[in-house]
Amino acid sequence: MKKAFILGITGQDGSYLAELLLGRGYHVHGLVRRASMFNRARIEHLRSSDPERLTLHYGELSDLTSFRRLLSRVQPDELYHLAGQSHVGLSFEIPEATCQENGLAALHLLEIVRDLQHPMRVYFASSSEIFGATSSFPQCETTPLDPINPYGCAKAFATQIARVYRKAHGVFVVNGITYNHESPRRGENFVTRKITLAAARLRAGAKEPLRLGNLDAVRDWGYAPEYVEGIWQSLQAEAAGDYVFATGQLCSVREFAQAAFAALDLDIGFAGSGVDEVGRRLDNGETVLRIDPVYYRPVEATLLVGDASRARTILRWAPRTVGPEVARVMALADWEKVRGETGS
Ligand code: F7E
């Protein structure tokens, strides 16, 4: 039986990946932080359905000696590094912690893997944010790095150091350069989930308008369960390399919101501009969306849109759910959730 180790197993991608690996007969190990509050909601169903093949270990990647000991005891065939501070906006507030968790931690991990007797394949969760202010569209694996926020800088460092370890030390390490990928398991402080949850609450009768930042921001939004398929495939390939995982299509925050509201039969129109822009229901004129500059970022990425040709050719990976359809899937899931909670 193949063994996989997931760092970040309690997150959106970690939970979908654990499901996929269990479905393929793996024994899955995950590292979880010991905290005063349980943060395992996304994998609770797996803990009860597959207790023999899912093993959770308490620990921290930053506790290097114990992590090294754990890895040499488990001896996984595949190691997926998906952990870290993943909020770009927050990275401006806590840049040092972000760089520690998303940059230096990857180097620590590679150093450990390099020394271990047992060879393992490593996946590193890179990000489209490594391209930040690029003027190349769409971006691919060879696009020069040009990050513009602490999060992107940390991911750029880790991506590059992984390339160094691949070339200099022969470590089988893959960089998955993933563009935004969302799902009903997305954290509520990311814009997509914030929108779909607000749409569901509005449908259930909530009156408080949704407050957002930059509605003109555009992203290449895909569907997380499809991205973990590519992540897994990337470690099955003959050789280690870098892969862009993206849809290749752009959608603005405004369009995403419109699609989410429309999925719940709430038609909204936009009026005004800048901080005075509002979203109103077309049927009753109610204001359901306002701008709050607190959500603006000091700098915004330019047009991050990915070319996934390499993943398509080598891994036979292709996204199926794109932008507005992702919004629809998420809005419907949140509606089910809110309906259950409120009895609507
Ligand atoms: O923002 C704008 C915001 O926080 C998307 C992470 O997975 O993808 C994600 O990072 C856009 C930005 O995701 C709000 O200014 C407007 O332009 O959902 P987000 P992100 O920053 O793109 C990349 C690829 C990663 O690697 C990251 O880990 O939406 N926006 N109004 C807002 N964003 C938030 N969060 N909240 C708002 O109210």
- Residue 50 is predicted with a pLDDT of 84
pTM, two decimals, is 0.98
On whether both 141 and 65 belong to a single domain, the answer is: yes
Give the integer Cα–Cα distance in Å for 260 and 200: 9
Is the CB of 191 within 6 Å of ligand 1? yes
Residue-wise pLDDT for 255-266, tens only, equals 999 999 999 999
On whether both 128 and 24 belong to a single domain, the answer is: yes
**Mean local confidence (pLDDT), 168-187:** 98
Give the residue with greater pLDDT, 301 vs 246. Answer: 246
Give distance in angstroms: CA of 88 to centre of ligand 1: 7
Q: How many CA atoms lie less than 13 Å away from 138 in the CB half-sphere?
A: 20
On whether both 277 and 129 belong to a single domain, the answer is: no
Band the pLDDT of 34: cuts 50, 70, 90: confident
Q: Which two tokens stand for residue 329?
A: 């899937």
Distances (CA, A) of 248 to 53, 178, 225, 300, 304: 36, 12, 17, 19, 9
Q: Is 195 helix (H, G, I), strand (E, B) or coil?
A: helix
On whether both 20 and 110 belong to a single domain, the answer is: yes
- Angle 223-58-231 from CA coordinates, rounded to 5°: 25
Question: For ligand 1, atom 32, which residue shows the shortest CA distance?
Answer: 191
On whether both 209 and 311 belong to a single domain, the answer is: no
pLDDT over 70 at 301, yes or no = yes
Give distance in angstroms: CA of 239 to centre of ligand 1: 32
Ligand 1 atom closest to the CA of 217, numbered from 1 = 17
Band the pLDDT of 279: cuts 50, 70, 90: very high
On whether both 174 and 256 belong to a single domain, the answer is: no
pLDDT over 80 at 37, yes or no = no
Residue-wise pLDDT for 227-255, tens only, equals 999 999 999 999 999 999 999 999 999 99
Residue-wise pLDDT for 83-93, tens only, equals 999 999 999 99
On whether both 243 and 165 belong to a single domain, the answer is: yes
On whether both 112 and 202 belong to a single domain, the answer is: no
pLDDT over 80 at 36, yes or no = no
Q: Which two tokens stand for residue 201?
A: 């609450």
Is the CB of 179 within 6 Å of ligand 1? yes
Is the CB of 7 within 6 Å of ligand 1? no
Backbone angles phi, psi at 54, to 5 degrees: -125, 115
Give distance in angstroms: CA of 64 to centre of ligand 1: 31
**Mean local confidence (pLDDT), 284-290:** 96
The β-bridge partners of 309 are none
Band the pLDDT of 344: cuts 50, 70, 90: confident
Band the pLDDT of 302: cuts 50, 70, 90: confident
Is the CB of 280 within 6 Å of ligand 1? no
Residue-wise pLDDT for 102-128, tens only, equals 999 999 999 999 999 999 999 999 999
Give the residue with greater pLDDT, 39 vs 307. Answer: 307
Q: What is the CATH number of the domain that holds 206?
A: 3.90.25.10
- Residue 111 is predicted with a pLDDT of 97
Band the pLDDT of 48: cuts 50, 70, 90: confident
Angle, helices 12-23/224-236, rounded to nearest 10 degrees: 60
Number of domains in the chain: 2
- Residue 35 is predicted with a pLDDT of 76
- Angle 12-291-149 from CA coordinates, rounded to 5°: 50
Question: For ligand 1, atom 5, which residue shows the shortest CA distance?
Answer: 191
Give distance in angstroms: CA of 81 to centre of ligand 1: 21
Band the pLDDT of 307: cuts 50, 70, 90: very high
Please identify which residue in the block is written with the tokens 């369960």.
225
Please identify which residue in the block is written with the tokens 């207790």.
51
On whether both 14 and 115 belong to a single domain, the answer is: yes
Q: What is the CATH number of the domain that holds 96?
A: 3.40.50.720
Give the integer Cα–Cα distance in Å for 12 and 79: 17
Question: For ligand 1, atom 27, which residue shows the shortest CA distance?
Answer: 86
Q: Is 34 helix (H, G, I), strand (E, B) or coil?
A: coil
On whether both 57 and 129 belong to a single domain, the answer is: yes
* Among the ranges given (41-50, 197-206, 322-331), the one the predictor scored with the smallest mean pLDDT: 41-50
pLDDT over 80 at 315, yes or no = yes
Give distance in angstroms: CA of 340 to centre of ligand 1: 28
Give the integer Cα–Cα distance in Å for 63 and 338: 39
Is the CB of 180 within 6 Å of ligand 1? yes
Is the CB of 89 within 6 Å of ligand 1? yes
On whether both 84 and 198 belong to a single domain, the answer is: no
On whether both 232 and 285 belong to a single domain, the answer is: no
Q: Which of 294, 260, 278 is nearest to 182 (CA)?
A: 260
- Residue 89 is predicted with a pLDDT of 96
- Residue 10 is predicted with a pLDDT of 96
Residue range(s) defining the domain that contains residue 199: 191-216+252-300+328-342
Question: For ligand 1, atom 1, which residue shows the shortest CA distance?
Answer: 191
